[in-house]
Structure 1
Amino acid sequence: MPAVRPPGPPGLPLLGSMLDLKRDPLGAYLAAQRDHGDVVRFSAGPPGLRARFYLVFSPEGVQQVLAGQAADFRKENAFYHEIRQSLGNGLLTAQDEDYVRQRRLVQPLFTKRRVDGYADAVATEAAALVERWAAVPDGVVEAADEMSRFALRAVARILFGADVEAAIDVVRTRFPVIGRYVRSRAISPLPLPRSWPTASNREGAAAQRELYRVCDDIIARRAGQRSDDLLGLLAEARGEDGEALDATELRDQVLIFLLAGHETTATSLTFALHLLGKHPEQQRRARAEVMSVLGDGRPPRAEDLAALPYLTMVLKEAMRLYPAAQTFGRRASRACTVDGVDIPAGADVLVSPYVTHRHPEHWEDPERFDPERFTPEREAGRHRYAWFPFGGGPRACIGQHFSMLESVLGLAALLRAFEIEAVDTEVPVASGITLEARGPVRIALTRLG
């Protein structure tokens, strides 16, 4: 069958779909899939500055972009450029030889055996969180803020060990500034040079300087010392020819790990708590499983992951409905065909877990919370790219086992200690660097035991 040019929303004569995308991009993508199919062309912006890009929604098309034809789709779009400018050329943004070299050096630090060794740090932070929540006077906490704090402290402890406190406050306050700055520049049809002294540029530059400073100070303080935390292991990592990461490369990797390692996990945990707080029967089942494994009160361990299959299913379903990487993009390096549709060279191509995870041909009643979708039998019968919160292909997330370990063990510790009820039953979401709650995600806690 010959390839065809894809349809797309008509938009407005002067601005195309710009207003819809600015107001609610995820809603616009869902509507586009419903009305126009699995490969959709968007146009947005005024004449002369109009951006045109393609959304690919079918699992088959996603597989082509991320895996089967991955060499034809590069991380060269405006979004990755802005992350690179703000947070350096780490594993998330590197290309070609830089990426191959970094992946070769870093991969041994993310094997299952190595990641399982990080479980103690997760358990330490989870225990501290339980103690803090137990002292909340009215028993109501804001899950998004709390999970961001927990996930950041866990990943920072794994990265920095004893230096964790030196980094927490700066990272916690500066990363959101960088996130807003990166997104505003990436979606602008004509971003001003970063050197111009606008309020936004000054704020973004100040946040970047503070993040660089705290990482550089810790790296300099460690020079010549051996340590067992992830920063120490990164500093000691060597390739086959003895190559190592220099101080700038170390900082770039640390910043990317801090970003990817805490925001994604925080999103998964926030919405897992929110969903369990709305669905008491699934919460009771998850807690019963946790108590059968951790009922003796001991800290959760890496080997407990295999004994918590239902809790893992809960988290996978939360990541289906609320994937942290709600949309991510590539740029076509040559003209090609995706899912039967022509894609021109140089076109920006986006895939959206948020939309594909709701694809009606692959998910029955897609808005319903149902952890049973992730039994081994049902997973085996589903297309590999119907669910892809960690991406896929050669650029799949290197930290996916760590994210699942942190999420399952952290959630297990909380369910053992508290019964949870959602205060905010409806939580609108928005697109940032990762998926964000647009409003509070409060949960009410009842202490158990």
Structure 2
Amino acid sequence: MPDTRIPGPPGLPLIGSMLDLRRDALKAYRDAFGAHGDVVRFSAGPPGLRATFWMVYSPEGAQQVLATESANFRKENAFYEEIRQSFGNGLLTSQDQDYQRQRRLIQPLFTRRRVDTYADAIGIEAEALAERWAGVPGGVVEAGEEMSAFALRAVSRILFGTDVDEAIRTVRESFPVLGEFVRTRGFSPVRLPRDWPLPLHKRALAAEQALYAVCDQIIARRAGAESEDLLGLLAHARDEDGNQLDATELREQVLIFLLAGHETTATSLTFALHLLGLHPEQRRLAQAEVDAVLGDGRRPTAEDYNALPYVTKVLKEAMRLFPAAPAMGRRSVEETVIGGVTIPAGSDVLVAPYITHRHPAHWEDPERFDPERFTPEREAARHRYAWFPFGGGPRACIGQHFSMLESVLGLAVLLREFEVEAVDTEVELGQGITLEARTPVRIRVAGRR
């Protein structure tokens, strides 16, 4: 018989681990792993409203949830429902026939060959950012804000083409409001109806309406027009039966691409710059590679991606230490056993890249920044799910190559143009829709050319 005794933090008598999780969820996850091992049960909230969920920390458990038993673990928890309510039922949140249909329509737009055509748009935005940094008084920039703006401009240019500025203004104003709304409701034991006229609800509704309006306007303007930007390709995509996305579905896909396509890449770039700013030896190695490939000052192309393996390793190591999705939730359909522990049917189960990427059984000296962990030989020798910033299994991120291409080419341009030094050596982290830097991530940049 499997062991059904599931260890976990006792928390406080009336509210369990609610305060610990609200204060610092990432620390709560780490402390529970250190004290209780690879499968941990959390209880949080007052009696009658208490939520129970299971954290799974081992690569083997992550593989079971995301891949080998993925049909038993669905995106039906409160957090995904809040994303679905605010951003629509796009590829990130849809399930079953909706998901299969959307995936069939959208997959051809994210092949490696198609994604490589977006390299020029990435290069244009990276060059514009470098030009602006060259004129920053004192040379100190806040990496989180700067990388968020860069990634948003790049994905918006790829999505909307010439309509990029119109979309960006609305997205930059609306996304933080909706992100906080989703985070607050997703982690709350009590979720009041969205139509109650509370201040937070009113702000979220206004942000939602503004986002919907700008997307709908751009989509309507494109109706019937041929375009090679991603929105145009989405609008004309057909499945094998000749079906296509309607206007509402188009908007939902656009919003999910904007959400997933800029916040995750921005996180990776922010912490890659932060880490290189703390480690001059690794920065010099990355810059030497960039100078050998792009030293003539030209705009990078997709062909340069494979010529920048060390820069790629830097980004993978940044994504190990600072994964944009620190935890990924599912809900079990049937009872199952993970790591010798029985998980009941209908349970909320989270896998946690933020912890698994530091698992001492799979990573030597796990807190140390070491891009050489990602040589092909060492990657091949490691468990497939010891590193999974893009998820895995049939729901693995469709935009993985796009994110890596954008990150590598964008970072390469910045390293070619600037020396980078970390101003803030310690950064406080938090968990929202994605990993959050809750204190500044300032870096000092100085021109190299």
Do both share a fold (TM > 0.5)?
Answer: yes
Contact 2:74/2:331 (8 A) holds in 1? yes
- Aligned counterpart, 1:106: 106
Once the two structures are TM-superposed, the CA of residue 368 in structure 1 deviates from its matched residue by 0.6
- Aligned counterpart, 1:258: 258
User: What SS does the corresponding residue of 1:138 show, helix, strand or coil?
Assistant: helix
Distance, in Å, in 2 between the alignment partners of 1:339 and 1:241 is 43
Once the two structures are TM-superposed, the CA of residue 190 in structure 1 deviates from its matched residue by 1.1
- Aligned counterpart, 1:92: 92
Provide, for residues 70-117 of structure 1, a one-character-per-residue CA deviation record: whole Å limited to 9, x for no partner: 000000000000000000000000000000000000000000000000
- Aligned counterpart, 1:222: 222
Say whether residues 1:274 and 2:274 are aligned partners: yes
Provide, for residues 393-440 of structure 1, a one-character-per-residue CA deviation record: whole Å limited to 9, x for no partner: 000000000000000000000000000000001011110100010111
Once the two structures are TM-superposed, the CA of residue 173 in structure 1 deviates from its matched residue by 1.5
Contact 2:2/2:337 (8 A) holds in 1? no
Say whether residues 1:24 and 2:24 are aligned partners: yes
Contact 1:123/1:301 (8 A) holds in 2? yes
Once the two structures are TM-superposed, the CA of residue 137 in structure 1 deviates from its matched residue by 1.5
Q: State the TM-score, normalizing by the size of structure 2.
A: 0.99
User: What SS does the corresponding residue of 1:141 show, helix, strand or coil?
Assistant: strand
Distance, in Å, in 1 between the alignment partners of 2:191 and 2:275 is 38
Distance, in Å, in 1 between the alignment partners of 2:4 and 2:357 is 25
Distance, in Å, in 2 between the alignment partners of 1:249 and 1:10 is 44
- Aligned counterpart, 2:60: 60
Distance, in Å, in 2 between the alignment partners of 1:107 and 1:211 is 25
- Aligned counterpart, 2:382: 382
Aligned letter for 1:14?
L
Say whether residues 1:5 and 2:28 are aligned partners: no
Contact 1:41/1:52 (8 A) holds in 2? yes
Distance, in Å, in 2 between the alignment partners of 1:427 and 1:194 is 34
Provide, for residues 275-325 of structure 1, a one-character-per-residue CA deviation record: whole Å limited to 9, x for no partner: 000000000000000000001111011011111101000000000000000
Distance, in Å, in 2 between the alignment partners of 1:212 and 1:2 is 49
- Aligned counterpart, 2:291: 291
Distance, in Å, in 2 between the alignment partners of 1:309 and 1:258 is 27
Distance, in Å, in 2 between the alignment partners of 1:363 and 1:416 is 31
- Aligned counterpart, 2:147: 147
Provide, for residues 186-222 of structure 1, a one-character-per-residue CA deviation record: whole Å limited to 9, x for no partner: 1111110001000111011111000000100000010
Once the two structures are TM-superposed, the CA of residue 172 in structure 1 deviates from its matched residue by 1.0
Distance, in Å, in 1 between the alignment partners of 2:229 and 2:399 is 16
Distance, in Å, in 2 between the alignment partners of 1:2 and 1:148 is 46
User: What SS does the corresponding residue of 1:443 show, helix, strand or coil?
Assistant: strand
Distance, in Å, in 2 between the alignment partners of 1:441 and 1:303 is 31
- Aligned counterpart, 2:326: 326
Contact 1:235/1:244 (8 A) holds in 2? yes
- Aligned counterpart, 2:134: 134
Distance, in Å, in 2 between the alignment partners of 1:341 and 1:173 is 45
* Correspondence 1:135-284 to 2 at 5 A: 135-284=135-284
User: What SS does the corresponding residue of 2:137 show, helix, strand or coil?
Assistant: coil
User: What SS does the corresponding residue of 1:397 show, helix, strand or coil?
Assistant: coil
Contact 2:130/2:413 (8 A) holds in 1? yes
Contact 1:268/1:323 (8 A) holds in 2? yes
Contact 2:2/2:342 (8 A) holds in 1? no
Distance, in Å, in 2 between the alignment partners of 1:368 and 1:290 is 23
Off by >6 Å, runs of 4+ in structure 1: none
Contact 2:126/2:413 (8 A) holds in 1? yes
Q: State the TM-score, normalizing by the size of structure 1.
A: 0.99
| Unaligned 5+ runs, structure 2 | none
Say whether residues 1:431 and 2:434 are aligned partners: no
- Aligned counterpart, 1:35: 35
User: What SS does the corresponding residue of 1:331 show, helix, strand or coil?
Assistant: strand
Distance, in Å, in 2 between the alignment partners of 1:19 and 1:225 is 53
Aligned letter for 2:130?
V
Once the two structures are TM-superposed, the CA of residue 4 in structure 1 deviates from its matched residue by 2.6
- Aligned counterpart, 1:405: 405
| Unaligned 5+ runs, structure 1 | none
Once the two structures are TM-superposed, the CA of residue 2 in structure 1 deviates from its matched residue by 2.4
Contact 1:3/1:337 (8 A) holds in 2? no
CA RMSD of aligned residues (A): 0.6
Once the two structures are TM-superposed, the CA of residue 3 in structure 1 deviates from its matched residue by 3.8
User: What SS does the corresponding residue of 1:52 show, helix, strand or coil?
Assistant: strand
Provide, for residues 327-356 of structure 1, a one-character-per-residue CA deviation record: whole Å limited to 9, x for no partner: 110000111111221011110000110010
Distance, in Å, in 1 between the alignment partners of 2:405 and 2:273 is 16
User: What SS does the corresponding residue of 1:296 show, helix, strand or coil?
Assistant: coil
* Matched-pair identity in %: 73
Count, aligned residues? 449
Once the two structures are TM-superposed, the CA of residue 5 in structure 1 deviates from its matched residue by 2.9
User: Which range moved further: 3-12 or 417-426?
Assistant: 3-12
Aligned letter for 2:355?
V
User: What SS does the corresponding residue of 1:24 show, helix, strand or coil?
Assistant: helix
